[in-house]
Amino acid sequence: MAVAERTDNVWSERDTTPGAVEEALRVLLSERHAQSSGYVPARALNLVCIVDREWSGEIANRLRGIGRFHASRTIVCAYESGRTTMDATASIVTDGVPSPGEFALMRETIVLNVGQEHLAQLDRIVDPLVVTDVATVIWSPHGHSEAIDALLSLAQVVLLDSVDDPDPHHALARVCELAARAHIVDLAWLRTTPWRERIASAFDPPARRPELGTISGVTARIREGSEVAGLLLLGWMCSRLGWKPGPLTARQSTLSGRARGRRGEVELKLEHTPQMSVPGLAGIELRTAAGATLSLERGTGGLTARRTERDGTERSWTVLGASRGEPGILGEGLRQALVRDATYSEALNAARELL
C-alpha cells in the first residue's frame, strides 16, 4: 500500500519561454518516472487559472481544499501590473510513494508570472503546456475577460462564479455569451444544488406531487450581491414547472414579480438578508393556493425544513449535510467540468427573463 507521503520536484526560471517550460516539465516527469515505474501522470483534466498575483495565495488555498477533484495539470497565470517578462515555476506533486506493483499519481502545477501584454496572447503561451486529449477548464476568479476570450480556442469548459459580477444583468449576459462557445460550470448554480434537491424530494412522494400545480408563491432569501443565485433558483422552478416568468421589479431590498403558471399566477420574490457570511441562498419558502407552506432555512449542520399544512399542523426537521461549503463547491465545479447539466441552460434562460 502506498505510503501517505507528499513529494515534490521543482524547476523555475526567470524571463523564460513556453518552450523552455514545456521542456523542463518533460524532464521533471522523466526524472520522477526513473525513480519508480509506479509513478504515473494523472490525465483527466487541465485547469488554467488566471489570477491577480497579490491574491494568488488565496486561490492556492482554495485549490488545496478541494479534495480528490484536483486537476491533473494546473496552469496558474499570475497577473502582475507592469510586468513585461514571464517567469515560471513547474512542480510535480505525488501524494504517496508507490510500493512494488502499485501506482502513485503525479499531478503537475505550472505558475507563470505574466503582465498585461501577455493576457491577450495567453492562448499561444498556454497551448504548449496543456495536456492534449483531455478537457481544459478556464477559471478567472479576478476578472480578466480578455484572457478568457483569448483562451476559448483551447478550452472546452469555463468555470465561473456569476455572483462575482455586481451587475446581475451583465453577469447573465456574459454567461450566455460564453455558453455559445464553451460548456459553462457556474459556482452560483452549484450553490443552489442542495436547495433544488430538497425541493424536488419534498414533492417526490406521489401524494405530494399534485401540490406542484397549486404553488402560488415562492420567496427566496439571499445574501446581498447573490441575486444571480436566487434568480437561477427561481428560473429553475419556472423551467421545470412550465411557468412563464415575468420581469421582477426592485422595491427597497426586494425584487418581486409574477410568473404565469398553468393554473394561475405565481408570486415570486427575492429578499436580501443581512445574516449571511457566504454567498448564496439563506432560505426559501413555497406557498400553495390551499394555504400550505414549505420552507427551508440554513442551519447548523444542514438545512432546517418546516412544513405547515393547510389545517395549521406544523412539523420541522433538519436535512443533514446539505451544504458542501465553499471548498466543496469548487471541487464540485471541477467534477462538473466532465459532465453536463441540461437543466442549467433552461434555468439561465428563465433567469434572464426574470430580469
Read off the pLDDT of residues 16-42 as tens digits, 9 standing for 90 and up: 999 999 999 999 999 998 888 899 999
Cα 47 from Cα 51, distance rounded (Å):
12
pLDDT tens sequence across 135-171: 999 999 999 999 999 999 999 999 999 999 989 999 9
The predicted structure's pLDDT at residue 90: 95
The predicted structure's pLDDT at residue 193: 92
Q: Where are the beta strands (DSSP E) in 141-263?
A: 157-160, 183-186, 215-223, 244-245, 249-251, 254-261
Mean pLDDT of 243-263: 92
3-class SS of residue 70: coil
Mean pLDDT of 99-124: 93
Mean pLDDT of 219-247: 95
Looking at the chain, how many residues does it have? Answer: 355
φ, ψ dihedrals at 306, nearest 5°? -140, 130
The predicted structure's pLDDT at residue 17: 96
Cα 161 from Cα 175, distance rounded (Å):
10
- CA-CA distances (angstroms) from residue 324 to 65, 110, 303, 330, 338? 12, 28, 12, 9, 19
Q: Where are the beta strands (DSSP E) in 207-343?
A: 215-223, 244-245, 249-251, 254-261, 264-273, 281-288, 293-299, 302-308, 314-320
Give the pLDDT band of residue 323 (cuts 50, 70, 90): low
Mean pLDDT of 175-184: 95
Q: Calculate the average pLDDT of the chain.
A: 90
Mean pLDDT of 109-128: 96
pLDDT tens sequence across 206-231: 999 999 999 999 999 998 889 999 99
Nearest to 91, CA basis, from 17, 25, 22: 25
**Which range, of 70-79, 113-122, 199-208, 295-304, averages the lowest pLDDT?**
295-304
Instruction: Look at residue 189 and tell me whether its pLDDT is greater than 70.
Output: yes
Instruction: Look at residue 95 and tell me whether its pLDDT is greater than 80.
Output: no
Cα 142 from Cα 140, distance rounded (Å):
6
CATH numbers and ranges of domains, the chain: 3-155 (no CATH), 191-354 (3.30.360)
Mean pLDDT of 112-127: 96
Give the pLDDT band of residue 251 (cuts 50, 70, 90): confident
Instruction: Look at residue 342 and tell me whether its pLDDT is greater than 50.
Output: yes
Instruction: Look at residue 261 and tell me whether its pLDDT is greater than 80.
Output: yes
Q: Which residues contact 177 (CB under 8 A, 6 or more apart)?
A: none
Is 197:284 a contact under the CB 8 Å cutoff?
no
